[in-house]
Structures are given as C-alpha cells and as structure tokens.
Amino acid sequence: MNAALQLNINSSQILYNILLPCDLPVKNHPFSKAKFILEKTATISSNGTVQSVRGSVVDIHFEKSLPPIYTLLTTGEKGTIAIEVQSHLDMHTVRGIALTPTGGLARGMAVENTGAPLTAPVGKNTLSRMFNVFGQAIDRQPQPEDVEWRSVHQPPPPLSRRTAKSEIFETGIKIIDVLSPLERGGKAGLFGGAGVGKTVLLTEMIHNVVGQQQGVSIFCGIGERCREGEELYSEMKEAGVLPNMAMIFGQMNEPPGSRFRVGYTALTMAEYFRDDEHQDVLLLIDNIFRFIQAGMEVSGMMGLMPSRLGYQPNLGTELAELEERISNTESGAITSIQAVYVPADDLTDPAAVHTFSHLSASIVLSRKRASEGLYPAIDPLQSNSKMATPGIVGERHYAIAQEIRRTIAEYEELKDIIAMLGLEQLSSDDRKVVARARQLERFLTQPFFTTEQFSGIPGKMVSLKDTLDGCERILHDEFKDYPEQAFYMVGTIDEVKKPGKENT
C-alpha cells in the first residue's frame, strides 16, 4: 500500500508532507491539499482518539491493535498535527510526541494511524534545495519531483561493511590542519561556549571545503537561529556551490520533537548518496548540542527520570544512534563536521563528554584566546586529533606539531612569572621560548572569507605545506628580529614584512 498525506500547517504556512507507508521507496510522491491520495485501493489501520494533551505530549486511545513505536499519527481538525509514537502505556493507549504545534488539539479528537514512520526524500533532485524535518521544501520553490521517500529510522552499517581510510582532509585553516588534522570519512567537533566563533568557523570551513568536495554536501541546522540559516543559504548560492548541496533545518522555534528528528532526516539523505550513488558526502551539523537538548526536553515530557544535570538517562544511546550512522563503507564515506555548544564553557558537561567519544578530531575554542583577539580562537593545547601520528601525517608534520605544542605549553607556564617579575627576569632561553610562542600564536591566526565584510581584511586560505614551512621557520628562529605583530592575520609566512620594508 502506498498513499500520501499532505498537511497544511496554518500556523507557519508550511506544508508538511508525509509518505504513507514506506516499506518500499516511492517515486513521484503525489501532493494534494488536505486529503488522502490513494495509489492503490487500501484501508488505513485502526484509528484512535485523543485521551490527553500536555504540551507536546499526547496520549491516544486505540480500541484495537496499537501502532508500533515510531509510527506517525495525524490529528487535528484538518489533520494538521503530526505525532510520533514513543511508548505504549497499556493495551489500548500510546504516548507520543507532537512534531508540530499542538494548538487547537482537544480530547476526543480523532487520530489517523498512517501505518508508517517519519520519512525523508532522497535522490539527486534534493540537491540545491532546502527542507524541513518532514522533507518539505522551504525555499519558496515547488516540491522536487522524482524523489524516493525512506524511513528516517535506519540501522547503522554493520561492521562487515565499514572501512577505514586514514586520509587527511585539508580545510585551508592553518591551526586546524597542523595541530588537529581532520580525517576524511571521520567526525570532527568544534567545541565552544556562546560567542567564541563556532558558527563562524563552521561557515568558513564550508566556504573552503565545499567547493573542493568531489561528492555531495549536506548541511543540517538543529535548533539554531532562522537568520543564520537564511544567511548560509544566500552565501552558498552566491558562491555557486548549491548544485551539490542540500540543506535541512529544524530551527529553535520548532517543537522539541521536530528538532530531535531533523538530524535523522539529514542522515537519511546523506546515506542515500553514500550507499546508492557511491559518492563521498560532507555532513555539516550546527549544533549537535541542540539535538541533545531536544532529546532532554522529549525525555522530560515523557516522564523519564533525569540523570546528571537534568540530561536524559539514555543520553549515550540516543547520541550513538545518530553518530554511528556517520561512517565509511565500501560504497563511500560520510565526513562530518559538527559544532558543539559547551554550556558554561565546561568541557566536563555530560553532553560534551559523550560527544567527545565519537569524534576523530576535537577542536576546542577558547574564550581567553578570543578575548586576546587571536582568531580563530582555537586552543592549541586542548585540541587534538587521532590523525596526528607519524604513521598518518608523516614524521615532519608530527615533529613540527609537537614542537609547537611544547613551545606554547612552556610559554603558558612562564606567564605567571612574567606577570609578577617581568620578561626581563627570565633567562635567555626562556625569553627565546616566549618570543617563538608569541610569533606562533599570531602566525596561526587567519583572516576568514566569511568575516571580510566585518573586518575589512581579505580572507586567506593556506595549504598545509605552506603552514608547515612557516611554523618550521619560526621554530628555527629565522624571524627573531621581527616584531610579533608582523605575524598577525597573515596567510603564508612570505606575507610577513620586516619593519621598515612595508613599502619596498
């Protein structure tokens, strides 16, 4: 049985389209306003009635068999409210979470059992388009045709299908490529509190990487600002990279159920390009903490006992269900870059701790470095990558990265002495360490293309080779007579100018 239901959401003027059911992918998904379109003569399984409504939590009574967990139900005066079944309370009652606003819902209303879970559109025609959690186009263009619809609830690839490549994924950002290189087909996290530059850094990585990406790019906005989504869409359109990119948004004004499922929708679309089209996929997520936060809201509304700091008791399981689907297979690779908000800059927060365990590279942004104007405000000592080993990046790269960290760590230890006694009280060797560290810190700053309109400084993209050459020359004291400010916001080391030679 294949049937389609189109929902007209009056409150947001967005059409939510839900495929019913989805045992097999369906092409040419039909659309018709406020009515069922039956492709084959069939009857929908038993319906129910609303028993109670508490915010986004809805209890529904069924006289006959209960719908399975994750089944999508529809209700409301015009069938405009979508509910996902979360638990069975007894032989005749299910509890679900509304994926749409529940305004106007009342006890006794009829509930339609769609007989299928939430689905997402997949196919080449989804590229260059923007969707919501239901797979409905929200870019003021017609719904794409000739697409397939698949359940968003898919198991991760089995171990027998997974592969490991251990290749470096260059970003053109100096401090990342040298100290925390990303893995092609791996997962990288950008950790930071509010206002330290996570979204700016992620946007810059999109600018640098999407144009070079040979496959497909999928951007998933989870619980972030609508303004940022519109700006990103406009920037990608101007840059000419939309033809190989799809965007999925569940913004912060959406109900928690919608924000909790939008990541699954994006992953389902990414898996299609990896498994069916045999292409590499770049999956960008902003912000994975909002996914955890939405799960916390859903857990609380469902009445589960909270764990530490109010997080859901099954935090690790829910995050693993999402993260483990991001993997390499013999068909292709999904490389993921995820922004991770850190509450109160506390890296021991359960959300950050659980996310760390899934990543191959962790890039930590520091509020202290941001206050010093060292952008990108990446902490060189806390950031790390499992790729930074001699066997993968090479002996030279590994040695330079270790020497950079050692130099900056020694400088951090000397800061207290400098604050109390002054730089002049240090030994000659210590003063050289301080000079090298301060030059390195400033050389690893970089002007971004995405901030040109604010800073007035043209953006720079620097290759790994040029970055390694510059750091190596600084460590060898080739620029000991240069002021540290000469290294600030430059690209390659050749752009550093000696005092008095700016106009020569």
Q: Which of 112, 183, 204, 224 is catalytic?
A: 224
| 363: CB partners within 8 A, 6+ apart | 176, 180, 188, 189, 190, 191, 201, 378, 383
The answer to whether 162 is a known catalytic residue is no
Q: What is the pLDDT of residues 10-59, one digit of tens each?
A: 333 333 333 333 333 444 443 332 233 223 223 345 789 999 999 999 99
pLDDT class of 185 with cuts at 50, 70, 90? confident
Dist. CA 362–CA 337, nearest whole Å: 10
Q: 315 or 6, which is more confident?
A: 315
Q: Please determine, for residue 166, whether its predicted confidence score (pLDDT) is greater than 90.
A: no
Range ranked top by mean pLDDT from 23-27, 165-169, 413-417, 469-473:
469-473
**CA–CA dist 11, 8 (Å, integer):** 9
Query: pLDDT exceeding 90 applies to what percent of the chain?
Result: 64
Structure tokens that stand for 280 in this block:
């590499």
Q: How far apart are CA 233 and CA 253, in angstroms?
A: 18
pLDDT for the residue numbered 498:
76
What whole-number distance in Å separates Cα of residue 126 and Cα of residue 136? 10
* pLDDT tens digits, 269-313: 999 999 999 998 999 998 899 999 999 999 999 989 999 889 999
Can you give the pLDDT at residue 13?
Answer: 32
Kindly state the tokens that stand for 24: 């097999």
Known catalytic membership, residue 165: no
The pLDDT value recorded for residue 33 is: 29
Q: In which band, very low, low, confident or very high, does the pLDDT at 169 lie, cut at 50, 70 and 90?
A: confident
The whole-angstrom separation of Cα 260 and Cα 28 is 27
Q: Which one of 225, 438, 460, 473 is the catalytic residue? A: 225
Dihedral of CA atoms 445, 449, 450, 452 in degrees, nearest 10, equals 90
pLDDT band at 501 (very low <50, low <70, confident <90, very high): low
Catalytic annotation present for 501:
no
Domains of the chain: 3-117 (2.40.10.170), 184-359 (3.40.50.300), 395-495 (1.10.1140.10)
User: Which residue, among 479, 442, 483, 447, has the nearest Cα to 462 in the 3D structure?
Assistant: 447
Select which of 150, 174, 187, 198 is catalytic.
198
Residue 375 in tokens: 């952008």
